[in-house]
Amino acid sequence: MNWILLIIAGLFEVGFATCLGKAKETTGNSSLFWYGGFLVCLSVSMILLVKATKELPIGTAYAVWTGIGAVGSVLVGVIVFKEPATFWRVFFICTLILSIIGLKMVTK
């Protein structure tokens, strides 16, 4: 169950990064909406991370949480914000995904 909480926390990390990106592109009330989304996603992500670390090693949990956030943020950047998907970006994101899977496999 803690791994599921950790994955969901990582997805909310992607959410808060996305909200920051969208807030940067907008103005007025629309910008406030995205900053509100940022605060909600940040809060949920942190609460779930804290809950997950009650049973998981903090180093592993933090590495997986940031890894999910990094991979998800790059994917959102490529899909939503039209950032380039170069060979090396994709290569290193794949190595990051393999590292996250490896951490899951070696953690009791």
Domain that holds residue 62: 2-106
* pLDDT at 6 (0 to 100): 97
Q: What is the pLDDT along the chain (108 residues), one digit of tens a residue?
A: 999 999 999 999 999 999 999 999 999 999 999 999 999 999 999 999 999 999 999 999 999 999 999 999 999 999 998 999 999 999 999 999 999 999 989 987
Residue-level pLDDT at 107? 85
Q: How far is CA 51 from the centre of its chain?
A: 16
13-50 b/e (C-beta count within 10 Å ≥ 16 → b): bbbbbbbbbbbeeeeeeeeeebeebbeebbebbeebbe
Q: What's the total number of domains in the chain?
A: 1
